[in-house]
Amino acid sequence: MVEEQLPIQEKGRRAKNESMRVKPQRLTELSLKPVSRVLSGIAELDRVLGGGIVPGSLLLLGGEPGIGKSTLLLQVCNRLVQNGGKVLYVSGEESAEQVRLRAERLGSIMPDLFVLCAVDLDDIIAAVEEIKPEFLVVDSIQTLVSSTLSSAPGSVAQVRECTAELLRLAKNNRLTVFVIGHVTKFGAIAGPKTLEHMVDAVLYFEGEPSLNYRIVRTVKNRYGPTNEIGVFEMSEAGLIEVANPSEFFLSGRRSDVSGSAVVVTLEGSRPMLVEIQALATPTPFPLPQRVATGFDLRRLALLLGILERRASINGGRRDIFLNVAGGLKLTEPAIDLGVIAALASAIRNTPLPADTVMIGEVGLAGEVRSVTRTEARLKEVARLGFKRAVVPLRSPKMNKSNLRVVPVDTIGGALKVLGVKK
Ligand SMILES: Nc1ncnc2c1ncn2[C@@H]1O[C@H](COP(=O)(O)OP(=O)(O)OP(=O)(O)O)[C@@H](O)[C@H]1O
Ligand SMILES: [Mg+2]
């Protein structure tokens, strides 16, 4: 529990003149100015935002400390300035020299990029009024303080008040504001969920600590679709867009060998393509081994049983190994069909089609059951360039020009489609 002190306000309804009142208007009477989006110059980010930045919007970029939030936004600033924009970068965490050092490392220093090292909201508002930038970057919201409140920076009240003030600034001046927010160890942006409803778009920056790739994901967007992801690679010269992320998720995959299947799993709200590998080797011992890495061993035994009984593919006297590539742990039932396919492929020693992805839960009767958010998964499959998806029969209809969706109702049918079973 955190005590929150509200700014003192006059209570009661103020008497307003009739002329001062805001009046309701007919929607049809409003004159429309066409909204033209501004391209950030980073294609992956523009796509995540739904085709560019909407001028006058407030965007929140969240992420764990050190993931590369400042880097990404500084790169965006550079591109915006290159395209003739005027940008003010406010840093409450680093000195101007540090920002300059990073800008040099990222390879471009622009004259129209202004840097302000301040934490006081009044300083920022004054700077905006003086320079009149089109874009404002605040790094980070947790460092800002509003003088109307006495609570510490980063507290719920401060974060909320500062965001509200920035929102006012954005809407009044048609200023686009990027706000950086740190994700705390509790997994929410600090002060955080308090911010999401106020801003126009919420982007999360995620990454695998051991790998160099980073993912930007929209969880909210008032001007575009959500659940789009953009993939970047962190390098010395900053973040480099990854045009084909499947190479990263499925790096090192050999599709010409048996036992390799690609499945779609939902990581939080993000669909992700992962490779499942299976190996079946004959054993002289009476009790064959069953080994699973990143997958539940009992579920493996169950799926082997279903495969044997419902599709007549027998594990028999073989050691069976199952591995989820990339060190991930998968628990979602939607990957069952992929596991079944990988196992059947390994047992029959027949490679699966390289461009096909499998989606579906498998029941004890060998039926393929529908899974949640098939559409989001298929969207990801299509985006990553796969040509065919084997899905449960009762899935929402989905027509993508370059993705063929093959509905199946049993594992036997699925294995026939995949060419493992006659
Ligand atoms: N010279 C370099 N070469 C390669 N990568 C670098 C280099 N310098 C920094 N990085 C990477 O940049 C990332 C940190 O970037 P950045 O400072 O933008 O993160 P941040 O999210 O803003 O962090 P903070 O939470 O501290 O503000 C780290 O992942 C680091 O590995
Ligand atoms: Mg930073």
Q: What is the mean pLDDT of the chain?
A: 86
- Substitution site in 60, 67, 117, 206 for ligand 1 pocket (most atoms within 8 Å of beta carbon): 67
pLDDT higher than 90, residue 218? no
Look at ligand 1, atom 5, and give the residue with the nearest C-alpha: 236
Q: Which residues contact 183 (CB under 8 A, 6 or more apart)?
A: 62, 63, 64, 65, 189, 190, 192, 204
| Residue 69 CB less than 6 A away from ligand 1 | yes
The pLDDT of residue 338 is 96
| Residue 68 CB less than 6 A away from ligand 1 | yes
pLDDT band per the 50, 70, 90 thresholds, residue 306: very high
- Substitution site in 60, 69, 204 for ligand 1 pocket (most atoms within 8 Å of beta carbon): 69
- Please state whether beta strands 87-91 and 113-116 pair in parallel, antiparallel, or not at all (unpaired): parallel
Look at ligand 1, atom 22, and give the residue with the nearest C-alpha: 70
Separation in Å, CA 87 to CA 49, 249, 362: 19, 35, 53
Task: Copy the structure tokens of residue 193.
Answer: 């969920």
Centre of ligand 2 from the C-alpha of residue 182, in Å: 9
| Residue 234 CB less than 6 A away from ligand 1 | yes
Alpha-helical runs (H) found in 359-410: 374-383
Centre of ligand 2 from the C-alpha of residue 45, in Å: 18
| Residue 79 CB less than 6 A away from ligand 1 | no
Query: DSSP letters along 114-166, please?
Result: EEE---BHHHHHHHHHHH--SEEEEE-GGG-B-TT--SPTTSHHHHHHHHHHH
**Stretch 205-212: mean pLDDT:** 70
Stretch (H or E) spanning 59: strand 58-63
The pLDDT of residue 164 is 92
| Residue 107 CB less than 6 A away from ligand 1 | no
pLDDT band per the 50, 70, 90 thresholds, residue 17: low
Atom of ligand 1 nearest to the CA of 94: 27
User: For residue 236, which ligand has an atom nearest its CA?
Assistant: 1
pLDDT over 90, % of the chain:
44
Centre of ligand 2 from the C-alpha of residue 68, in Å: 7
pLDDT higher than 70, residue 400? no
CB 378 within 8 A of CB 403: yes
Separation in Å, CA 304 to CA 188, 320, 347: 39, 9, 10
Residue among 222, 229, 225 at smallest CA distance from 35: 222
Centre of ligand 1 from the C-alpha of residue 119, in Å: 21
- Substitution site in 180, 189, 234 for ligand 1 pocket (most atoms within 8 Å of beta carbon): 234
The pLDDT of residue 327 is 63
* 41-97 residue pLDDT tens: 888 888 888 888 999 999 999 888 888 899 999 999 999 998 888 999 999 989 989
Centre of ligand 2 from the C-alpha of residue 326, in Å: 28
The pLDDT of residue 8 is 67
pLDDT higher than 60, residue 411? yes
The pLDDT of residue 126 is 94
Atom of ligand 1 nearest to the CA of 66: 23
| Residue 75 CB less than 6 A away from ligand 1 | no
Atom of ligand 1 nearest to the CA of 74: 18
* 324-362 residue pLDDT tens: 876 667 888 999 999 999 999 999 999 999 999 999 999
- pTM strictly above 0.85: no
pLDDT over 70, % of the chain:
89
**Distance between CA atoms of residues 323 and 342, nearest Å:** 10
DSSP state of 68: S
pLDDT band per the 50, 70, 90 thresholds, residue 12: low
The pLDDT of residue 157 is 83
**Stretch 13-18: mean pLDDT:** 59
| Residue 209 CB less than 6 A away from ligand 1 | no
| Residue 265 CB less than 6 A away from ligand 1 | no
| Residue 236 CB less than 6 A away from ligand 1 | yes
Task: Copy the structure tokens of residue 348.
Answer: 């029959």
Q: Roughly how many angstroms between the first and final C-alpha of the chain, as a whole number? A: 64
